[in-house]
Chain A
Amino acid sequence: MNDPERLLHGSPDGLSARLLRAGADEAPSPRSLERTLAALGAASTALGAAGTAGALGASSTAGVLGASGGGKVVTTLTLVSLAKWAGVGVAGGVAVSLAAHVATRAPESRSAPTAASAVSAEVRTVRPLEHVAKAEEPRSPAPETSATVEARALVPPAPPSRLDERASAPLAAEVTFVDRGRALFQSGDAAGALTALGGYEQRFPEPRLLPEVLYLRMEALSLAGDRAQANDIARRIVRDYGKGPHAARARAVLSNP
């Protein structure tokens, strides 16, 4: 059976062909794809941090979800995906590689000198995702507790470890922090985005979304016309996250005259 000739390929002067061609020629902005890649990268980064810290159980992720209910759908989905991944025990190998990534990203921790050592300490001392996977199993006893309400409902009460509190609680705040900056940037408010993203490293000594923050700063600075600083951050992204999802964009920024 032959397919009929497409209206799109009809007479160029025909109205239907013109309309359809206009539709076919439409393309998303490069930034739209970049943002999606950034979101996918943020999910991976956060997953790596979760695996590294070993303290972000699926139940605590659900708590984060609740805490970030006012955030963007994307953030929610990202966190849902974290819970899902953690729940199926996927991230063991990913966690190991990203643990190394987090532990070796000392250069961007210059403004927070204790951060690298703190993360490294966690890498050394915390069991990776084993209890994360268990935490999502209904009614299974959790060997370690998280600080969330849901976890308390599922497992016998036990004193939360300080490590769990440190690792799980700030993620919601980090996501909210980054979302605010992203929203401002997406609305075209570069100055607002830069203000919102300022002090991230100081505020979060375990900056799990740092690649995303750097990416947003770079884009906001570019938008604001501050090429020098945008290039500085682009170089940092290429240097520290050369294989990450933002590296291509950073290289593009650097290659622009």
Chain B
Amino acid sequence: MVLPDLALGPLSESADTGVASTAAPELAEAHFGYVWRLCRRLGLSESDADDAAQQVFITAERRSADIRAGRERAFLYGVAVNVVAKSRHARARLREAGELDLDALESDLPSVEDLSDQKAARALLDRLLDAMSLELRAVFVLYEIEEQTVAEIAETLEIPVGTAASRLRRAREDFAARLARLEAQRRFSGATR
């Protein structure tokens, strides 16, 4: 999932001139998929991800002078996380807040056959990710789905590489444990049918 590099001319000039509005569409065309997927994997529905991604790029347009050359993804990530957090907070106010109930998560699981359907697979993936802390989830998503390196993730999140590696390790353990539990649940469900 390699995205094209952004032509940085207008943005790199923006700090001096403030005129960088023409770069915003280029930014969107280069990174829209990345931002949108990030919004999805951080817990937004497709339609909410549409709105959130749009909001991210409008914010980027407004703050183009703040985007440093070569740090576009890091900037977009930071904005996306804030936008997602606000969106989720708004949704959370509409329902009872609290940790995701694993029992509820494990009920109504897609069958193995269902998982051939990408949509069902994504739904299960998102439910697993929902049970993760945002701190772990972000690293996990950036590494396992967006295929950024640990060093890139550290730069994106502005954390030490060692911290990024540690979070990734914990995130993978967390994910594997929840997945194993789900698989056990599915086997049990299959055996009792």
Contact = CB atoms under 8 A, between A and B. Distances in A.
A23 B55 contact: no
Contacts, number: 134
Interface in B25-63: 25, 28-29, 32-33, 36-37, 40-41, 49-51, 53-55, 57-59, 61-62
Interface residues of B, number: 50
Contacts of B51: 72-74
Interface stretch (A29-37, A99-107, A165-173, A224-232): A29-37
Contacts of A37: 25, 28-29
Given A6-B144, A7-B144, A20-B144, A85 B21 contact: yes
Interface in A75-111: 77-78, 80-81, 84-85, 88-90, 93-94
A88 B18 contact: yes
> Main SS of the interface on chain B?
helix
Contacts of A80: 62
B86 to A, nearest CB: 9
B128 A19 contact: yes
A13 to B, nearest CB: 11
What bracket does the count of chain A residues touching chain B fall in? 35 or more
A197 B6 CA distance: 35
Contact of A23 (B29, B59, B145): B145
Interface in B106-163: 115, 118, 121-122, 124-126, 128, 141, 143-147, 149-150, 161
B19 A6 contact: no
Interface string A4-36: 101110000001101111111111110011011
B121 to A, nearest CB: 4
Contacts of B18: 88-90
Interface stretch (B70-78, B92-100, B171-179): B171-179
B55 A28 contact: no
A39 B58 contact: yes
A245 B58 CA distance: 14
Contacts of A1: 150, 161, 165
